[in-house]
Structure 1
Amino acid sequence: MRRITAGLAATAAAVALLIGVKANSASAPRSALAGAGNTQPVPQGPTGAKTPAPGKSAAANGSFQGSVIDTRYGPVQVEAVVKGGRLSNVVVLQQTDGGRSSQIDSYALPLLTAEALKAQSADIDVVSGATYTSTGYAQSLQAALDAAAR
């Protein structure tokens, strides 16, 4: 009986130690697409509005098509709509097609668009279950934003 009690106490102590170590090692979440877009931090202006990075002028107004990105499940292409130097909309021009892929895109693309508008960049998180669509979307959006900055 003493061995069982000692074993349970040792196991509980080990679990508590592991949980404590894991909690202390947690860091701020980062984008899974860190290499897919512009990873430079964008300085904040006094009102909280994002301003262009040093040495870059504000983006032109208009609609800018991104590159067609071929994914495992089909091409993805977006168009960035820029007004007043800010990303005001993202229009999906091409998306993956067929069966389950269409179902995934139906929930993933609105989430990606909302995330891009919130971030004002292509540095957005991957939608769980839609990795290929998310990656293609971010890469095409980055190409559109690059075209807007020219």
Structure 2
Amino acid sequence: MIFVDSPLSIEATNMVKRFPQYFNKRIQNVMKSDDDPFMFPGLTYIKDVQDSKALNFRNGPMVIISASGMADAGRVKHHISNNIENSRNAIVMTGYCEPSSLGARLLSGTKEVGIFGTEHQVNAEIGQIRSMSAHGDYEDMSQWLACQNPRAVRKLF
């Protein structure tokens, strides 16, 4: 089972889904055979706090996708607190982490972290996927530029 446990991410996903004409070409090609690339069997979106808390009592393999890339706030911090001491778990960071954030401390290899006033042994495997970014890529930038007046665009940073 895969759970998306982030109300803000769910709202953002729903907003993005309203404008498929702005998806990049790769996703538009996927949509020729899949009208909702944001949903698939085994995926559950969690909105309710009680449903989020219930994830702590589930047995068996699962993936919890939760926002706050630096792991300093929100539901992700609770999930880390509840799962960090189990060596059968993995915590994977996918974005930039400010050096003093919980995410950066985990990535630095620290063996103990304080979360909500409680010290936790870091027994879970900590990993990072560096290829994911919240920023647009070359194709996104090219698509945006194609809609601009070439005479008005003098520099691009």
TM-score (norm: length of structure 1): 0.22
Q: Give the number of the structure whose alpha-carbon radius of gyration is greater.
A: 1
Q: Which has the higher contact order (CA 8 A, sep 6+)?
A: 1
TM-score (norm: length of structure 2): 0.21
